[in-house]
Amino acid sequence: MKYFVGIDVGTGSARACVIDSQGDVLGLHVEATKTWNPRHEIYEQSTENIWTCICKSVKEAVAKSGIKPEDIQGVGFDATCSLTITDKNGAPLSVDPESGFNEHERNIILWADHRAIAQANRINATEHKVLQYVGKTISPEMEIPKTLWLSENMPQEKFEQIGHIFDLPDYLTFRATGSLARSTCSVTCKCSFVPLGIEDSKGWNEDYFRAIGLGQMADEGFKRLGGIPGETGVYHHAGEPVGNGLNKQAAQDLGLIEGTPVGSAVIDAYAGAIATLGASSSREEAHEMASRPLKESLLHLGANRLAIICGTSSCHIAMAPEAIFVPGVWGPYKSVLLPDMWCAEGGQSSTGQLIDHILNKHPAIEEAKQMAKERDTNVYAFLNTYLEEKKQKHNFKYLEELVSQLHIYPDFHGNRSPLADPTLRGVIVGNSLDASVDDLAVKYLATLQAISCQTRHIIESLNSCGYTIDTLCLSGGLCKNPIFVQLHADITGCKVILPKSIEGAVVIGAGFLGARAAGLSDNLWDVMIKLGQAGDVVTPSEDSHIKTLNERRYKVFKLMLEDQRRYRRIMAGEE
């Protein structure tokens, strides 16, 4: 048996796990990370805080596993797509305007930070051909608009001190190995890099960077972004070994052995896709898939699946053998998950965060939490039970009947996909003066329905352009919620496959990267099939009444979107 460590940095925590060569988790530990949110559009983090949390998580996970550090054969990282700034020596540099860019602990602009909306709008106005690979609309959550914001808002002498501009996953492999090699996943998905082999691409497009106002990056040969591929920069596919493995300091920090192979990192959503897209429900099925030729295996199991990683936000990752362009959906991205396969990445900017917002702003939340405590459960499980009791009290056959007059449109933090409009906002129709737990429960259910409707909107956009999505591979903490899962099946009409380890799927995917780096296989898809483990399968309801109710709700969802757009046109004097 071989053993590997996966390390995942999400929005609010760092976690590590130890897995074996069958994909079983032997030890897992989570540490909360720190976020600064001084204004509604500003979200900042710290590489030093994150690294400290990583190190504690790894040591605890290894201790829980009972595996000796010398038996760990590979390490993999994933992290949120957050802009990370250091000086030429790798020390943190501040991105914090509140401190005059002097608080160097705050050197990460979190993905959720929307300070660069104006810069993103200007980049989009160029209509440059590079933008066709991000659904024709770049997001303020991506690294280049944020870099442009820094260039325009930092004092020039401070901006010139920046030595390295990383996506967070690549910073972590740099911290672990000392290598400045970048991952194809990070630079392609978030940094306007177009992989070699697409038209006449050389990686970084000099004309694009000059057109958007970052010509100095081209003048420097893109050194701060990772360099020119094959000349001054090294770029790896997911899981390929980085540098010479763990350097002495990182090995000491993590409690592992110097030289342990480190796999090229991915963005956290892609780690969730790595853990779930190849997952089989049995060892026999996995063996059968592994015996097929690679392309046949990919097409049979991967092309009709959509990985949805459900956390603070949600990401939707689809894979195809050819480039499929979907307006408002990021990509198509070549070779960011598997070499020569193309990925599309949809997303919802706020899902878990939206649920918490709706609950925590309600006047009955403390009463609900107390009731949950009395039942020795959490507030979400309590509300699920409460809704079932409320349904029975009213002699309803379906939960959906509890919210027939309450509708929520979920873009409280803007729309990532399929509209790519960060200025859209949430809508609640059917509010009353009710401040009871009853009202809290139905708003909670309506929020889950709204998130599911938006997932359907994304799937319809993908399928209208050439995808054939009929199966959802869900992972992340929200998948522990049976109502959330069943609504996704019922409203989208897709089969849902849950991973064996629901909450641990993303960090397990990072462990697969460590297995690839250690040589368990020289093909990541093979690792995904061999180690991926499916859990429960949830199918859409065949009940005609539920189907009718969901069709009506989805129709209202689309109308609420159009109404919001119309209100804006009216206020702008356009109609």
Q: Give pLDDT tens digits for 34-61.
A: 999 999 899 999 999 999 999 999 999 9
- Residue 288 pLDDT > 90: no
CA dihedral 156, 157, 163, 166 (to 10 degrees): -40
d(CA 272, CA 270): 5
Tokens read off for 468? 């054939």
Q: Are 468 and 303 in contact (CB under 8 A)?
A: yes
Q: Are 124 and 422 in contact (CB under 8 A)?
A: no
pLDDT category at 299 given cuts 50, 70, 90 is low
Mean pLDDT of 290-294: 68
Determine the 3-state secondary structure of 322 from DSSP.
coil
Lowest mean pLDDT among 197-206, 254-263, 446-455: 197-206
Mean pLDDT of 528-555: 94
From 1, 442, 474, select the one nearest 275 (Cα to Cα): 474
- Residue 206 pLDDT > 70: yes
pLDDT of residue 284: 66
pLDDT category at 311 given cuts 50, 70, 90 is confident
pLDDT of residue 280: 72
**Percent of residues, the chain, with pLDDT higher than 70:** 96
Per-residue pLDDT reduced to its tens digit, 469-514: 999 999 988 999 999 999 999 999 999 999 988 878 999 999 999 9
d(CA 364, CA 433): 12
Per-residue pLDDT reduced to its tens digit, 352-394: 999 999 999 999 999 999 999 999 999 999 999 999 999 999 9
Mean pLDDT of 155-161: 97
pLDDT category at 283 given cuts 50, 70, 90 is low
pLDDT, averaged across the chain? 94
Per-residue pLDDT reduced to its tens digit, 315-341: 999 999 889 999 999 999 999 999 989
pLDDT category at 294 given cuts 50, 70, 90 is low
- Residue 301 pLDDT > 70: no
Mean pLDDT of 15-25: 96
Work out the end-to-end distance of the chain between its first and last CA atoms, rounded to an integer number of angstroms. Answer: 68
pLDDT of residue 197: 85
CATH of 3-254, one of 3.10.20.600, 3.40.50.1370, 3.30.70.100, 3.30.420.40: 3.30.420.40
Mean pLDDT of 554-574: 97
Mean pLDDT of 220-233: 97
d(CA 351, CA 410): 8
Mean pLDDT of 279-304: 67
From 183, 517, 120, select the one nearest 336 (Cα to Cα): 183
- Residue 434 pLDDT > 90: yes
Domain layout of the chain by residue ranges: 3-254, 352-456+545-571
Mean pLDDT of 423-430: 96
pLDDT of residue 278: 86
CATH of 352-456+545-571, one of 1.20.58.2240, 3.40.50.9100, 3.40.50.300, 2.30.40.10: 1.20.58.2240
Torsion 561-565-566-567 (CA) sign: positive
Mean pLDDT of 401-426: 94
Per-residue pLDDT reduced to its tens digit, 447-480: 999 999 999 999 999 999 999 999 999 998 899 9
Residue type, 78: D
pLDDT of residue 399: 95
- Residue 297 pLDDT > 90: no
